[in-house]
Structure 1
């Protein structure tokens, strides 16, 4: 049995795409994949493809005859009054799940909660995005190496927010997953809406990723690929990922023991070791590519369960050990007062954890020096954040490597600290090795 199974609702379809109006007929029909889940939306050869109902319609019943952990609906309102003063939360329908056990479970479908009209854009639209449903499209990464100048500001975010192209997806959780769902009764109670598809979830998981992104190391064990110029990317069907970034060649002791502390690290331009931050459901497939060539794929649930998963050409390792929100203060060791400086925080594996409001990578580690704005600088592999002596942000629990520099009169600090569970404060001390002002030398310009 497939982990997700579209229901055949063809016997109760009663409307074609014309029900959406003349200006909104470019919708997805036929066999579709929304957020990695399969749906059957009518037929792409024309004819009826939706269930269309409103308060004047009678209820309809969809035969199921299957057990499931979740039932996922692709549906939408045909119109909304919210922009013209209408209320949020108005009842639209009641979905009644009739179980073989004799029980009935009822779910209220409300405007802007479980259902909404499809927005005209990602940020506002006629009714905005619903609170308990998700868009049919995923977040997407921008093109890494190209883009339009007018999108320069948005490119700094690295991804485009998910929007609804055709429908919203809402998942019902079955209180009795071992019991067969005999039928689903749709009882309209308000404005006109459509149901485009219904899919049963047989996996014991929520079908939409609800956890934060987790740091994941990718080690390419195929020497032919590992030695190629860096061009790794990750695709996740039922979740999201960041860009992939190379990790330093010697991220731990080679970094802490290096002579030029506070002044960056040589770039790793190979494809041997990298990381991405991934948020996905357990059944998601994670695919790693070098350019257009697939290096390997794994199930995210196996990575979460085992910690490390190996394929013939690569190894994927979950490095997320939990994080603390930490307030950091950098002080002059003699005076005890905070001093402006530049800072870099990283895990022993080389994954950066820069202060809140600062980039982990300046300009996504590309060579476009003139685009980014803000108090950051990149020296080789390393991004530094300029701070006034204080900062805050997420740091991983366990060992953290810090790299701090302040001009030429202070000794750079590159050392290892430990972040304990519950720790919220960290103080770093910079030692002045010479005071040129005290020797009557002052900076100036003529």
Structure 2
């Protein structure tokens, strides 16, 4: 309707009841001329003169003439005067409040809107405050009951997605994670309200409106009519359709169309597009097969559109040349046929069947935590309630107990969850670590399905044989989320590490130097534990993990400048200081993510301050146990430093798999406690794995042991066994001093063997297992710690490896002397003396064994210092 002949006020001259407040953006004043809001066309006043209709108390009605028209609803864009919150009677003085009461009053009769018909009859409709109309400025909870904000819902991309697409985020981090806003402006900002007045006589021609003020003043900005049979502002629940992209419409680098409020690729008039993501095509054969990981193929030309819309809505796609492609949702039938459209689309069965999912242990029936994935017939992810439809994999952006493993998304659940599922086939994957056979099935959901129960079979019994699993390196999760993920991944010990990242500190408040979450002493069952330690870090000298120590947190968490510390933070300590303090406080000292950084780690190992060396993999789907990390470990074994292997995920985001790379430690006769786990690691009887479990003995002695044989040498007997529930071991390699000396092909999930190894000089031996989560031939799937064989009194000592280690120590000294952020001279001398001691010890061994070598010239300990 054109209300220009009836406008009687200027927006910019309204009194204070309709005036601007701090935080108003001028949005209302920008509404000029033809506009479309929530898919409905309106004609607003221009800025040339009067531009709004004011209904003032005490004045008569405004009579508006219309060309005869049929309408089911008349839509008003209007607003009532702002009410200032009224002080409660007798309350006395009122100070600042966390929440105001703007917009809470309700029920007052603001005006009466009368519909005039061609037969001279009329229908009066009362317009009540906060029912059909609301004020301009409101508190966050004061939405209208029968009207909606004129602004429609806003869809946001996450902060990480915006960065990935090369554009700045336009909203806060939390709004990006929420992905949506209602369009209602509260606390700051201004609102107009859209009310659909139902016509009680849609069969009669409408010829006029009579708008009569009652007890409060109000403003009418625009009016429109519709013949939609369904309420034009009432949308249906979430739905999906599968669509082939028309020519000229392309996916972005995320495999999606831009659906946020800045995008012009796709939109909907009477509704909102929630997402438009590439179809994921799964192989049914692979899904029902025995591959350890089944990834879908992402389509380049088909998408799944998720939306909420009116039944009569239309979907629009814009091609690169500006052409619009239209899909009328009402004309879309069950098989995707739609008259008058160029789009190839088919509706997807709605996920509206509520189903209770239970995951239990076979035989006992006990409910157990697990990692759960569900998707529908078109590859659409079906998250349990309380979990994201798209898992955010940005670092430090998602701590919700979820995983994105490649293109597959998972939720961690504590044995029970609720999910809305479609009628028809639902693809299910459930896993619980390396000793439980994973479940991958297709279930048929019917209208009678109320619950689904899945049994998990623990087919390997290594826990009963004294083995406990652990992840030595996890960040950012809350302790309780870490406990849930540990249970679901079958990881008995999760080490959650507080850390500093420049000016950011994480998990520091979770550290108390006392509590082991999940332990019997703290109310748990004692089977799954979380302990908060610290990873203390420096950019150049390196990182060190301090696990399980008691008492006060070991500060500084980082030093010597960015990225690890803040700009200007001096070199207050070196890793040796942190390691000594950790040991004094009863902790376990681990050198993380071998082989990097290559610097002070060498000195600390030479000084005997390190209890274990960690191999790290964020996610075995991408990369498994590092060959470079193992080569670094071999180097130290080759010069006589007997370090156990441990493994961790360094989990910092939802694409990293907690326990994907993990340690198994043999408790022996010890009970399972966190302290006994640390002792088991120190003893050296460990192996690391991404799936296959491996045990080895040499002459009946376990990893971490030493065997002495005569100077003349001899033969040692090596026995090994491997078991796996999913990742198939392909090759077993016997490693001696870092070199493969024998290998055996393994054609099944389990295998075992016996080898005789002739030994003529001192060595160490270990078992390395090849196998891959992702089918890569060269992947390393598991590795034992070493057994040490001494032949006579001549130790293992590889000169080249010793020289390499010595160079790292010399490099550390050079750094401390030259570019390390300045500290006081006394501290500098003390820190340097520790490094010099390590250098002296190793250098002395080189000379003692008659090994020729050269020194790095810069800042050699043999020459005068330059600074």
TM-score by length of 2: 0.46
Does the Cα contact within 8 Å between 2:73 and 2:225 map onto a contact in 1? yes
Contact 2:243/2:302, CA 8 A, preserved across alignment: yes
Change (3 A) 1:44 1:166: farther
TM-aligned CA deviation for residue 325 of structure 1: 1.4
1:107 to 125, 146, 150: 125
Alignment of 1:295-334 (within 5 A): 296-303=325-332, 307-309=336-338, 314-321=343-350, 323-334=352-363
Go from structure 1 to structure 2 and tell me whether the alpha carbon gap of 1:418 and 1:306 turns closer, same or farther (over 3 Å shift).
Answer: closer
1:68 match: secondary structure? coil
Q: Answer yes or no: is 1:59 the counterpart of 2:61.
A: yes
Q: 2:303, 2:335 → 1: CA distance?
A: 19
* In 2, Cα distance between equivalents of 1:319 and 1:158: 22
In structure 1, C-alpha distance between the alignment counterparts of 2:217 and 2:205, rounded to whole Å: 30
- Give 1:245's aligned residue: 277
2:415 to 384, 389, 393: 389
Relative distance call for 1:142 and 1:410 in structure 2 (3 A) is: same
User: Any conservation in 2 of the 1:327–1:424 contact (CA below 8 Å)?
Assistant: yes
How many equivalent residue pairs? 428
Per-residue deviation, 1:413? 0.7
110-119 vs 297-306, greater mean Cα deviation: 297-306
Structure with higher RCO (Cα < 8 A, 6+ apart): 1
Q: Take 2:327 and 2:250, find their aligned partners in 1: how far apart are those partners? A: 18
Residue aligning to 1:374: 400
Structure 1 counterpart of 2:291, from 260, 264, 284? 260
Distance in 1 separating the partners of 2:83 and 2:378:
50
Is 1:133 matched up with 2:147?
A: yes
Quote the offset at 1:131 in angstroms: 0.9
> Which residue of structure 1 lines up, in the alignment, with residue 156 of structure 2?
142
Q: Is the 8 A contact 2:359 2:368 kept in 1?
A: yes
Quick one: structure 1 residues 308 and 173, their matched pair in 2 at CA, closer, same or farther if it must change by over 3 Å? same
- In structure 2, the CA distance between the partners of 1:99 and 1:21, relative to structure 1 (3 Å rule), is same
Kept in 1: contact 2:56–2:217 (CA 8 A)? yes
- Structure 1 position 378, deviation (Å): 0.5
How far apart, CA to CA, are the structure 2 residues paired with 1:149 and 1:199? 32
Taking the aligned partners of 1:149 and 1:312, their CA distance within structure 2 comes to: 35
CA RMSD in angstroms comes to 2.8
1:151 aligns with 2:172: yes
SS in 2 for 1:442: strand
- Tell me what 1:15 maps to: 9
The worse-fitting range, judged by mean Cα deviation, of 60-69 and 16-25 is 16-25
Instruction: Report the counterpart of residue 44 of structure 2 in structure 1.
Output: 41
- Other-structure match for 2:424: 398
Deviations 1:360-417 (A, max 9, x none): 2211xxx524311110001111111111111112111222111111101111111111
Against the structure 1 CA distance between its residues 152 and 392, is the aligned structure 2 distance closer, same or farther, given a 3 Å change threshold? same
> Structure 1 or 2: larger helix share?
2
In the TM superposition, residue 51 of structure 1 has moved relative to its aligned partner by 1.3
**In structure 1, distance between residues paired with 2:134 and 2:251:** 49
How big is the shift at 1:288? 2.7
The CA deviation string for residues 172-216 of structure 1, in whole angstroms up to 9 with x for no partner, is 122322210121111211111011111011333322242111012
> Structure 2: which 5+ residue stretches go unaligned?
89-103, 259-265, 470-664, 666-680, 683-867
Higher share of residues assigned strand: 1
Q: Deviations over 1:230-258 (max 9, x none)?
A: 34243112211112222213x35155235
Give the conservation status (yes or no) of the 8 Å contact 1:356–1:393. yes
Q: Distance in 1 between matches of 2:162 and 2:395?
A: 13
SS in 1 for 2:436: coil
The yes-or-no answer on 1:198 pairing with 2:223 is yes
Structure 1 289/338 Cα, relative in aligned 2: closer, same or farther at 3 Å?
farther
Contact 1:238–1:280 (Cα < 8 Å) also in 2: yes
Calculate the TM-score normalised by the size of structure 1. Answer: 0.87
Mean alpha-carbon deviation: is it higher for 109-118 or for 36-45?
Answer: 36-45
